[in-house]
Amino acid sequence: MQRLILLLLFAEFGVNPAYAQQQRPDHLMPEDSLLTDGSSNVFSMSIRRYNELITDFLADGYARDVSLRALVIPAFSPENLVGLRHANIEGGDDHRVFYLRPTIPLGGYAALYIWSSDAVYFNDPKDRTDEVERLKSRLPADPKDVPLTRCERPLDAAVAEQVSAAWIGVLLETRYLPADNTIGRDGVTYHFWAASPPSHISPPRFLAGQSWSPPRDSKPGRLAELAETLVRYCDGKTEAAELERQAGALAQKLDK
């Protein structure tokens, strides 16, 4: 999320962040938490507001029947959330792939919050006013008025379980690095989540991890590809066999 705020600033002023490109990990990084950054500066507050906006606007993706999800945040395109719903119904389980996508990037509201503050310096106060008005002209006054694209499609239980097993397998390897070398130019940030099923001795666990533009052949990269394929499946552009193939390949990679 912090990367998004920085990139919004860079985009507005036409600056490319010159980060060193380093080796990226073959595992997910832990999720950020409000409890780890309770500062009240405008950038932290904008990230907090953005997180709240995401969870409010995409609330269906955080419902109790969601068993796994990926929140995908491209640098300058609309966010999207894809996942699986699971419900016990008469005669068996019901699994559905679902997909949510706003028609404009919700990050624009975070940028508006920053420009409206004193965090960004302008030589002429009129420039700030002009910038704020320009941003407002692009955004509905109420984020709830942003149109939302939805999709939902049933998925065979066996395939859903295979996807879930691979998804959880990658999440179980989430860990920190001695130093954070995951920052780079624009790209895409993936926030993965899953509910590990309960057993007779333990309640369900909630697993979460994130990755920025993972290499395609890495475990996070394969998981990102699986998330993208869920979107295509929901849109009817691929079939369950492709999900099964990718989940199987990822499971084999986890076993190595």
- Specify the residue for token string 């600033």: 9
Q: Which of 17-21, 134-138, 182-186 has the lowest mean pLDDT?
A: 17-21
Q: Which of 36-40, 73-77, 220-224 has the lowest mean pLDDT?
A: 36-40
Q: Where are the domains of the chain?
A: 2-255
Q: Kindly give, in sequence order, each residue whose CB lies less than 8 Å from that of residue 157, ignoring residues fewer than 6 positions away.
A: 92, 93, 95
pLDDT at residue 20, as a whole number: 44
Residue 215 has pLDDT above 90, yes or no: yes
Q: Which of 102, 90, 108 is nearest to 46 (CA)?
A: 108
Q: Which of 160, 158, 162 is nearest to 84 (CA)?
A: 160
Bridge partners for 153 per DSSP: 97
Band of residue 204 on the pLDDT scale cut at 50, 70, 90: confident
Residue 143 has pLDDT above 80, yes or no: yes
- Token reading at 3: 């990367």
Q: What is the pLDDT of residues 145-197, one digit of tens each?
A: 999 999 999 999 999 999 999 999 999 999 998 876 555 557 899 999 999 87
Cα angle value 175/77/182 (rounded, 5°): 25
Band of residue 14 on the pLDDT scale cut at 50, 70, 90: very low
Helix/strand/coil (H/E/C) assignment for every residue in 122-189: CCCHHHHHHHHHHHHHHCCCCHHHCCEEEEEEECCHHHHHHHHHHHHHHHCCCCCCCCCCCCCCCCEE
Report how far residue 226's alpha carbon sits from residue 249's, in angstroms, rounded to the nearest whole number.
Answer: 10
pTM for the structure as a whole: 0.87
